[in-house]
């Protein structure tokens, strides 16, 4: 079969992969719940004009408690670290610290914020750490565990620690998929024995653990599979290494329980149609990738750890949730500034507030708090940036739309505030309630 034939067949298959429609019984309770709290948001707007990010402390604290309790039931000694990159607003980190989490930072600026907040338990992960970042970690070795990403980073951390006369607690990231773009992260499991041997020659490095991470986990299957693979690799490691192993960090990437909500453009068929410059989105075409409940993650991951890790080494298990913790805790409030047609409106904020053209592919309901109602109406809702890709959605929930109406876009706490960018229009302020 020729490459052209294979390509055409693949395109036809993708065009048939329209995805699972988002069920009303999943979507509507979320819409109803936010409408039930509409007066709370309108009271905020009365004091703080839009556009606004609204950080809701109660929701953030509740998610911290739910996550901790789900895993502590099955892994009583587990430790939890909030992935700061998912929402780097300092108040978010302060609240999760108060709720028994450490912080997982991925840059020098995040490390400085964590130190400023007086975090006592910090893990510093991520590739390409600079010499100055490693030096700052070494200067704060009593509070910071460095998760190394490569053999070369081991050398540079040794140099940084030696230059300030400190010994640094460290771990090594192993790659869950050492192919394609994910080659960027960590070392191959096959290289673990050589890395351990090299670390023994570094007098300023105390190698205490191993980390791995997979992203966008709608279920625990990938993590469970890698835990089994890691257990086999560890069983071949020397006894002294296993005896001195203090932790295994199984990362984060846990998807919120509502699952992934998409516009038609986010489905395989929609991606192909976009590439062909064909019409894609319609007002009512919402799609869904379901996510497993957190309790399922906890039970299956704990079972895999008890089967494949604990028989080899009795170490602490660490987790790095980000999206699951903060996703539901921050909402966006906007106002309508221009009704250009019955099916086209402009708001007072642009999608620079979330950093990218997210809402062309992701679906989040837009709720008209000024005219509430369980009716979804077709209308392309644009921001006020000078780009046609500045789209909030293709419909709104409510009984009508007029200039001055207050719109709410819920569940904007993860990978939106952190990705915001100073582009054309001012960024919304944050109000914490």
- pLDDT, residue 416, reads 96
Structure tokens at 247: 């932790």
Q: Give the pLDDT confidence of 159-191 residue by residue, as tens digits.
A: 999 999 999 999 999 999 888 898 999 999 999
Q: Which helix (H) or strand (E) holds 206?
A: strand 205-211
Structure tokens at 46: 């009365």
Rg (CA), the chain: 24
Q: Give the pLDDT confidence of 396-432 residue by residue, as tens digits.
A: 999 999 999 999 999 999 999 999 999 999 999 999 9
Residue 298 has pLDDT above 50, yes or no: yes
Q: Give the pLDDT confidence of 81-138 residue by residue, as tens digits.
A: 999 999 999 999 999 999 999 999 999 999 999 999 999 999 999 999 999 999 999 9
What percent of the chain has a predicted confidence (pLDDT) above 70?
Answer: 95
Q: What is the mean pLDDT of residues 356-372?
A: 95
Q: Give the pLDDT confidence of 210-262 residue by residue, as tens digits.
A: 999 999 999 999 999 999 999 999 999 999 999 999 999 999 999 999 999 99
Nearest alpha carbon to residue 350 among 379, 376, 388, 377: 388
Cα(372)–Cα(147) distance, integer angstroms = 48
> What domains are there in the chain, each with its CATH number?
18-53+328-432 (2.40.37.10), 58-258+292-325 (3.20.20.10)
- pLDDT, residue 329, reads 98
- pLDDT, residue 35, reads 98
Q: 224-260 burial, b for 16+ CB within 10 Å, e for fewer?
A: bebbeebbebbeebeeebeeebebbbbbbbbbbbbbb
- pLDDT, residue 178, reads 83
**Which residues make beta-bridge pairs with 209?**
171, 247
Report pTM: 0.94
- pLDDT, residue 360, reads 92
Q: Give the pLDDT confidence of 391-405 residue by residue, as tens digits.
A: 999 999 999 999 999
Tokens 């309901």 correspond to 365
- pLDDT, residue 276, reads 76
Nearest alpha carbon to residue 207 among 174, 251, 163, 165: 174
Q: Are 417 and 88 in contact (CB under 8 A)?
A: yes
Which residues, in sequence order, are CB contacts of 208 under 8 Å at separation 6+? 145, 169, 170, 171, 244, 245, 246, 247
Residue 5 has pLDDT above 60, yes or no: no
Backbone dihedral angles phi then psi of residue 42, each to the nearest 5 degrees: -65, -35
SS3 (DSSP) at 147: strand
Q: Give the pLDDT confidence of 14-50 residue by residue, as tens digits.
A: 556 567 999 999 999 999 999 999 999 999 999 999 9
Cα 48–chain centre separation: 28
**Which residues make beta-bridge pairs with 429?**
52
Nearest alpha carbon to residue 192 among 145, 117, 156, 242: 242
Cα(208)–Cα(244) distance, integer angstroms = 7
Q: Give the pLDDT confidence of 305-345 residue by residue, as tens digits.
A: 999 999 999 999 999 999 999 999 999 999 999 999 999 99
């Amino acid at each position: 079969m020729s490459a052209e034939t294979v390509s055409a067949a693949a395109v036809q298959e993708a065009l048939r992969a329209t995805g699972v429609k988002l069920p009303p019984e999943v979507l509507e309770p979320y819409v109803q719940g936010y409408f039930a709290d509409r007066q709370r948001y309108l009271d905020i707007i009365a004091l703080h004009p839009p556009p606004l990010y609204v950080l809701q402390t109660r929701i953030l604290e509740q998610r911290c408690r739910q996550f901790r309790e789900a895993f502590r039931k099955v892994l009583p000694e587990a430790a939890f670290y909030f992935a700061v990159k998912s929402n780097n607003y300092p108040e978010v980190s302060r609240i999760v610290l108060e709720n028994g989490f450490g912080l997982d930072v991925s840059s020098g600026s995040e490390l400085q914020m964590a130190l400023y907040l007086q975090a006592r338990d910090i893990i510093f992960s991520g590739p390409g750490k600079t010499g100055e970042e490693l030096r700052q970690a070494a200067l704060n070795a009593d509070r910071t565990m460095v998760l190394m990403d490569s053999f070369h980073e081991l050398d540079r951390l040794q140099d940084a620690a030696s230059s300030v006369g400190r010994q640094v607690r460290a771990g090594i990231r192993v790659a869950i998929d050492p192919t394609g773009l994910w080659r960027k992260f960590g070392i191959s499991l096959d290289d673990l024995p050589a890395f351990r041997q090299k670390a023994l020659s570094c007098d300023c490095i105390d190698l205490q653990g191993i980390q791995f991470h997979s992203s966008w986990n709608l279920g625990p299957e990938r993590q469970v599979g890698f835990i089994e693979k890691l257990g086999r690799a560890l069983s071949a490691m020397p006894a002294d290494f296993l005896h001195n192993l203090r932790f295994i960090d199984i990362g984060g990437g846990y998807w919120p329980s509502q699952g992934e909500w998409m516009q038609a453009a986010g489905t395989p068929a929609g991606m192909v149609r976009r590439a062909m410059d064909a019409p894609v989105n319609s007002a009512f075409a919402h799609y869904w990738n379901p996510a497993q409940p957190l309790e399922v993650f906890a039970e299956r991951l704990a079972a895999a750890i008890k089967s494949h890790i604990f028989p080899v080494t009795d170490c602490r298990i660490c987790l790095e949730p980000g999206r699951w913790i903060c996703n539901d805790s921050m909402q966006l409030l906007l106002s309508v500034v221009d009704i250009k047609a019955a099916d086209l409106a402009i708001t007072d904020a642009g999608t620079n507030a979330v950093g990218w053209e997210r809402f062309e592919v992701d679906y989040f309901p837009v709720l008209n708090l000024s005219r509430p109602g369980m009716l979804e109406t077709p209308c392309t809702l644009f921001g006020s940036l000078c780009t046609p890709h500045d789209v909030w959605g293709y419909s709104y929930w409510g009984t009508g739309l007029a200039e001055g109406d207050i719109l709410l876009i819920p569940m904007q706490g993860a990978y939106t505030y952190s990705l915001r960018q100073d582009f054309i229009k001012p960024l919304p302020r944050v109000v914490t309630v």
